[in-house]
């Protein structure tokens, strides 16, 4: 069977197969067939200029396809915006107390960088924190941010 395929499949078969995969990609839109199709076209062009065996063509196509899939995975890797699933803030966000925070009561904090789109927030703490003290976020509970003294 391998001998039959080696004698019958020529360079333009690879290019046609690659173009078919690229047409499938245009209809599917997953970018997976893009790598497979480009790999097939590259194998076809390589076979045109260098007389390689069918086994080598298959190995080359497999390697190029795997590299294309790895590149696709790296390129389109989803970027994590937040470590805690709330928004674009983290527990390292620091701020300054603008209204004294009494233990387990509300005060106000002005954060160095906006938290959930706003720099000034009502905040609570487990201990009393005087005005002007530096704090950092420990927890977000709806519209109230819990902080701790630095």
pLDDT digits (tens, 9 = 90+) for 33-68: 999 999 999 999 999 999 899 999 999 999 999 999
Taking the C-alpha atoms of residue 97 and residue 12, their distance in angstroms, rounded to an integer, is 71
**H-state helical runs in 50-124:** 54-75
Tell me the whole-structure pTM to 2 decimals.
0.53
Checking if the pLDDT of 85 tops 50, the result is no
Cα(34)–Cα(75) distance, integer angstroms: 14
Residue ranges and CATH numbers for the domains of the chain are 2-75 (no CATH), 94-149 (2.40.50.140)
> Residue 1 pLDDT > 90, yes or no?
no
What's residue 66's pLDDT? 96
Measured CA to CA in angstroms, residue 8 lies from 52, 55, 61, 84, 94 at distances of: 13, 13, 17, 58, 69
Looking at residue 89, its pLDDT comes to 52
* Longest CA pairwise span in the chain (Å): 85
What does pLDDT average to over the chain?
86
Three-state secondary-structure class, residue 107: strand
- Please determine, for residue 82, whether its predicted confidence score (pLDDT) is greater than 60: no
Predicted confidence (pLDDT) per residue in 93-137, tens digit: 889 999 999 988 999 999 888 877 788 888 999 999 999 999 998
């Amino acid at each position: 069977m391998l001998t039959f395929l080696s004698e019958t499949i020529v360079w333009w078969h690879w290019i046609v197969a690659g173009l078919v995969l690229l047409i499938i990609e245009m209809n599917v839109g997953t970018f997976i067939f893009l790598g497979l199709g480009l790999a097939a076209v590259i194998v076809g062009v390589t076979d045109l200029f260098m007389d390689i065996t069918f086994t080598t063509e298959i190995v080359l196509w497999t390697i190029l396809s795997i590299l294309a899939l790895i590149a696709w995975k790296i390129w389109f890797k989803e970027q994590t915006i937040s470590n805690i699933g709330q928004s674009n803030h983290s527990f390292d966000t620091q701020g300054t107390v603008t209204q004294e925070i009494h233990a387990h009561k509300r005060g106000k904090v002005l954060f160095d960088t906006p938290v959930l789109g706003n720099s000034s927030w009502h905040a609570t703490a487990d201990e009393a924190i005087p005005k002007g003290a530096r704090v950092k976020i420990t927890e977000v509970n709806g519209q109230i941010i819990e902080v701790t003294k630095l």
